[in-house]
Amino acid sequence: MYSSEGRESVQVSARPASPDPIEADLIKKARGGNLFAFEEMVKRYQRRVYAVARRIVQRHDVADDVTQEAFLRGYQALGSFDVDRPFGPWICRIAANLAVNHVRSPQAREQELPEGHQEMPSTSSDPLRDLLENEAQRVLRQALAQLPPDQRAVLVLRVMEDFSYREIADTLQLEMGTVMSRLARAREKLRIALQPYLGAAARRAGAEA
């Protein structure tokens, strides 16, 4: 199990052009049938892949299944993977496609997780700050859950995973204009959903100053 405003220019910062040489070696070994090498790749990226899936499907059990399926498909497709490119974005695209296919399927039933599920125990000595941070995470999860799945997928890939517009278009098989319009609508809906919390947080910060 895996646990877990201004106008924006289309030009975004480039991703690293080449992968970690250690990872490139692991992939080459995995291609030769070394399962331990691929297991190491899974350990390196399982949290990131799970996070992509979890934010799109909004259910822990489904995100867990998507994560495992993504790595299975990734292993099966290693022969076509370009070792001169980074592995992370590639495996995340596989997971994103699987997650989007799930939320589009007739049998998909989106359910929120119980309060506090998967929250990591805090090591901070400031209980008030911890409480506010946990509340912010809860509000954000609820706001994301209210977005239509297609808008949520675009938002997650662009804002949280830093995919370029072209990468999102290729991953979700959309036109660039569709990606941009869905992202704009998702951001506006998220801004509206978070406004009550942001206003309350600002008031609390002012009271503590």
Q: Could you give the domains of the chain?
A: 17-106 (1.10.1740.10), 126-209 (1.10.10.10)
Average pLDDT, stretch 5-34? 66
Q: Give dist(CA 157, CA 49) in Å, integer.
A: 11
In percent, the amount of the chain with pLDDT more than 70 equals: 70
User: Which amino acid is located at 35 in the chain?
Assistant: L
- CB of 151 closer than 8 Å to CB of 51: no
Find tokens 């309350």 and name the residue: 200
**pLDDT (tens digit per residue) in 151-194:** 899 998 998 888 889 989 988 888 999 999 999 999 998 888 88
Distance set, CA 33 to CA 39, 40, 81 (Å): 11, 13, 15
Average pLDDT, stretch 32-39? 93
pLDDT of residue 196: 74
- CB of 53 closer than 8 Å to CB of 66: yes
Task: Retrieve residue 19's tokens.
Answer: 């992968």
**Sequence-ordered strand ranges (E) for 26-126:** none
CB atoms within 10 A of CB 147: 21
Average pLDDT, stretch 115-131? 46
Find tokens 């949520």 and name the residue: 152
pLDDT of residue 121: 42
- The closest of 11, 5, 45 to 186, measured between CA atoms, is 5
